[in-house]
Chain A
């Protein structure tokens, strides 16, 4: 009883109720706890994005959502209403999954970026349409198994952070739940910037990526350490790499997940080359201004 009360207090303090309906090991609730810690209570959370739905339901702050085809647009309206009511002190964080942000609502995120809406737009990327049972999205990585790509995804993952950065917004960043201090710092930084901020995080999905839930954070960390998911910021068009980990071979990341089981050696080689060249390009562009 005493312990229960202690935990209830803990949940109140963190603005997040423990015990979601997410899968065991899902990165979604973990992400939101970190975000809310960085943002504080004067916040409105907008967003759905099917899997994230389960995580968002446990937030103890005002939340509002429509559907996953409504990314960044409802929050646009919320911001306008807050301005009309003189409440620009409230932070609006607007979220969407990878299917939402990258596919069905990409135009909307682009438009919100063009309008420079004063929101923190985050992408909760678990690399497929997970809530409907693991179907491929535009952000599914090359070679991954999904129910609609049973022999492995044929195409590359869309680089949404770069697409948004090309809109010349004040702040774009990639983050990971395996590097919590970095993630929280980026959220806090975004909160202090006026205009459209975009933060993209890849969320581990034990169910869809096929691995033991206990390895959730470990697998996510491997994603960063193999440079499959590099951490960087693009502040006012200038690239700033957040971490330069000692590069681990991509094979380690791939063999840790069942969804890459059917990948052929040539494909793995191809992927390694792609990542190597991406790493070189990123390091070269560090400190430089991107885009025309």
Chain B
């Protein structure tokens, strides 16, 4: 039976794992993911979830156990944050290379030092090279829906890649919003049981892991899976919307962009606040919209290029740092590369904000929108990378 109630992101994620019929959950607690795994442990103890929760002694082991379990044919779910993700870094390279469709929640939290317990996106963005599919969620409902969709995408026989459902610690993980839990029977119709067609570890059925002996070829195959995943993510989202009434526009969502001259590009929970500010600004006649980047890997290059043709300026809001980079934060560099191919490129601005989980305030968002529109008027960008939090913008509200 479907039901709706106020639910924090972590609890919604636990329900996502439950509805996806995850069978093996090897996990290690770390703030701000802890309630996710303790919710799963409770759901199992209450008999609501039929899974085995392996109480591993560290995150490195958690991902290794996930790899073993997935290879042996079970649907696996795990989750971690920040230091935990970095600790399992060696293990995180295994699932994409081995083509194991593990489902994982990366509950974003800043990486030490110069961090804390609150979110920024460096922990999940660090995985951008190893082949994990990455989807960023704005609220509890999206977390639950994305986990379920993630298994459909990852276990697709054209894909076989692990999927990371990323969401901000505290702002999503511990903030309660109205969440609809779909009925198990409906989810079962949408998500069939896991069966890896490429290999099996059972003695009577042993298919050794297939991969090209040629390293370049094997890697290219992962790349091709990412290319194919772009369409699969769109299609799965459309089907989900049809079935459950909730969709997320695939990889990119344009919000209140009709007639806009410029857009802010955001990822994660700050998107929610930006929606409100953009609405206010549009009412005031400011021609600025919002583009929510939902899918970071595979990066929606073609979609972004199509979209960029409509606007004079794109301002990327980076809740991450990449010291010594070619210019600014990680997302802005990906966007820059995507736009480079265009003959007529919009102006590109980059803002660092919310680092270490500091609040992204409405005033900061107004400031960013303002600066972007000023750049459109001037026809050029004065400050390519703007560390917003170092600016004195006056009182918060």
Contact = CB atoms under 8 A, between A and B. Distances in A.
Contacts, number: 118
B76 A77 contact: yes
Interface stretch (B57-65, B223-231, B301-309): B57-65
A62 B94 contact: no
B65 A73 contact: yes
Interface residues of B, number: 34
A227 B183 CA distance: 65
Contacts of A64: 68, 71-72, 201, 209
A87 to B, nearest CB: 7
Contacts of B209: 64
Helix, strand, loop or mixed for chain B's interface? mixed
A111 B61 contact: yes
Contacts of B52: 80, 83-84
Interface string B21-39: 0011010000000000000
B94 A66 contact: yes
Contact of A69 (B23, B26, B90): B90
B202 A75 contact: no
B41 interface: no
Most chain B CB neighbours (cut-off 10 Å) among A41, A42, A73, A76: A73
Interface residues of A, number: 33
Given A76-B61, A80-B24, A81-B69, 11 more contacts: A44-B203, A62-B203, A66-B64, A66-B91, A70-B64, A77-B24, A77-B66, A77-B76, A84-B69, A110-B57, A115-B54
B201 A78 contact: yes
A43 interface: yes
B71 A73 contact: no
Interface in A88-117: 90, 107-108, 110-111, 114-115
A83 B54 CA distance: 12
12 contacts: A61-B203, A64-B72, A66-B91, A69-B60, A73-B61, A76-B64, A77-B68, A77-B76, A78-B69, A80-B24, A84-B51, A110-B57
Given A75-B68, A108-B61, A80 B26 contact: yes
Contacts of A77: 24, 26, 54, 64-72, 74, 76
Contacts of A213: none
Interface in A20-65: 41-44, 46, 61-64
A85 interface: yes
B70 A81 contact: yes
A80 B54 contact: yes
A64 B61 CA distance: 16
Interface string B63-95: 011111111111010000000000000110010
B56 A73 contact: yes
A44 B61 CA distance: 19
A181 interface: no
B241 interface: no
Contact of A90 (B66, B76, B203): B203
A107 B57 contact: yes
A183 B54 CA distance: 31
Contacts of A44: 72, 201, 203
Most chain A CB neighbours (cut-off 10 Å) among B57, B60, B201: B201
A161 interface: no
A74 B64 contact: yes
Contacts of A115: 54-55
A42 B58 CA distance: 30
Interface in B77-117: 90-91, 94
A89 to B, nearest CB: 10
B56 A43 contact: no
Contacts of B73: 81, 85
A82 interface: yes
A67 interface: yes
Contact of B67 (A42, A74, A111): A74
Contacts of A63: 208
Most chain A CB neighbours (cut-off 10 Å) among B24, B26, B94: B24
